[in-house]
Amino acid sequence: MAARPETLLGLVRDYSKRRLFQAEGWRCLRVLGEQAAGPGATMEVEARIGPAPTVHVVQLLDAGEDYVVEGPPAGDNYVTTWTVQARGEDAIVQVEMAFTYGGLVGEFFVRRRLRRALREMLRRLKAVAEAGPGA
C-alpha cells in the first residue's frame, strides 16, 4: 500500500475510525467505553457472520509496534491479527484469522464470510490510507 505503516496502524488501532473501511454489510454501531484506541478498546459491530446480521463485540486484545490483535473479549471464536510492515516508503498489510467457530457448519459458512469481509476491509483500508488525511 502506498501509505506509511504508522498511518495504517493508526487506522486499524482506532475503533472510532473503523467505520471508514468496514466491509459491505458491516456497521460500527459504537465504541464501548471511553477508550477508542489501544489494548482494551472495544466496539460494537453489526455484521452478517452467520445466517443473519447480529451484533458482536470486538476488542483490541493486544498491540505491538507492527501488529494489532482483535476479537471477541474472551479471545475465542475468531481472532484477527493485523500486521503492518514497512517496505521502502510503502507498507505491506497482512491479516490472519485464527478461527474456531461452530464445527463443520461454521467452517463452511462463517469462515468464508469472515475471510471475504477481511479481504474487502483490506481493499477499503488501502483506499482510505492512500487518499490521505481528511478522506
In total, the chain counts a number of residues equal to 135
pLDDT at 69: 94
The number of angstroms, rounded, from the C-alpha of 110 to the middle of its chain's C-alpha atoms is 16
C-alpha distances in Å from residue 97, one per residue of 75, 77, 111: 12, 10, 9
Question: Which cell numbers in the block locate residue 76?
Answer: 475465542
User: What dihedral do alpha carbons 47, 19, 80, 9 form, nearest 10°?
Assistant: 180
pLDDT at 37: 92
- What domains appear along the chain, each with residue ranges and CATH number? 5-130 (3.30.530.20)
Q: From the first residue on, what is the mean pLDDT of each consecutive set of 10 residues in the chain (135 residues)?
A: 87 93 92 92 89 89 93 84 86 84 69 87 92 66
Largest CA distance in the chain: 43
What pTM did the predictor assign? 0.85
